[in-house]
Amino acid sequence: MKSHSTIAVANPSALGPVTPEEAQLLAKLDLARLPRHVAVIMDGNGRWAQRKHLPRPAGHRSGTQTARTTIETCARLNIEALTLYAFSVENWRRPKTETDFLMQLLREYLRQEMPLIQRNNIRMRFLGRSRELPAGVQQDMREAVEKTAKNTGMVLCLALNYGGRAEIVDAVNEIVSRRSSDNRNAPVTEEEVARHLYTAGLPDPDLLIRSSGEMRVSNFLLWQIAYAEILVTETLWPDFNRARLLEAFVEFQKRERRYGGIREGSSDSEVPARVAGK
């Protein structure tokens, strides 16, 4: 992974035509200080559909359009990595009709969005227990990784059948297995755990965005978000447009990142912010 100092500074013209609101937000941004890794909990598809008196699948399908906008915007702004929480290990508790639809929607998305992924030089990764997913989904995932393996731009991670606790358990079990075979019994370090996480090789998220207003992290990247800036917006995911993403970046740049320390004379409050939906 490239160091942050070698990453090209974002060029706002790469976004193409912008709305007046987007132009105002871009003017407030220091494009040299964008987050390296953005993680997103895409929440609110069902409520969006309910408010519009539509079936839940309509909300999920609309949410894929928002994902497309988010992915392309981040790629064009030279964000190093973007992780989207697409399907958790807990989501299997939903009705089978909904989980079957989500799996089919994922397969459609991977096929239909490949031209956009390639056009934006994006490399794909998948986080989670992929072996528990349907065989067809696994095949599409392998093909997406293979097709984008030589791309050199943003890394797009889709968290599928993902759970933060499951990830840590998997990492620990892999460490134990390797140590048993090597007859080693040294203490486990944080660096060793990080090397065995699904996100190995990527920087930890600088910014965690959650749509729909829920103030929880929902078992997402529990290890990696230890010092991430958390931003919760009331906006439901299908309504999270490019302006809302730029607004999140503006808010991110207002934060003083202390990593557990504190500057003399400053406040020690570290309460996550909630941004009003628009």
Return the pLDDT at 254: 94
% of the chain beyond a pLDDT of 70: 88
Using CA of residue 5, residue 6, residue 11, residue 15, what is the dihedral sign? Answer: negative
Q: What pLDDT, on a 0 to 100 scale, did the predictor assign at position 257? A: 75
pLDDT at 78 over 50: yes
Active-site hit among 78, 91, 151, 219: 91
Q: Round the average pLDDT of the chain to a whole number and report it.
A: 90
Two tokens at 103?
A: 């799996």
Residue 116 has pLDDT above 60, yes or no: yes
User: Cα–Cα distance between 127 and 85 in angstroms, integer?
Assistant: 9
pLDDT digits (tens, 9 = 90+) for 196-235: 999 999 999 999 999 999 999 999 999 999 999 999 999 9
Burial 45-77 (b: 16+ CB within 10 A, else e): bbbbbeeeeeebbbbbbbbbebbeebbbbbbbb
Residue 4 reports pLDDT greater than 50: no
Residues in the chain: 278
CA angle 36, 106, 173 (to 5 degrees): 65
Confidence of residue 5 (pLDDT cuts 50, 70, 90): very low
Read off the pLDDT of residues 86-115 as tens digits, 9 standing for 90 and up.
999 999 999 999 999 999 999 999 999 999
How many CA atoms does the CB half-sphere of 64 hold within 13 Å? 17
What CA–CA distance (Å, rounded) separates 149 from 10? Answer: 23
pTM: 0.89
In the structure, what pLDDT confidence band is assigned to residue 265 with cuts at 50, 70 and 90? low
Is residue 43 annotated as a catalytic residue, yes or no? yes
SS3 75: helix
206: annotated active-site residue: no
pLDDT tens, position by position, 141-190: 999 999 999 999 999 999 999 999 999 999 999 999 888 777 677 888 99
* The pLDDT of residue 264: 61
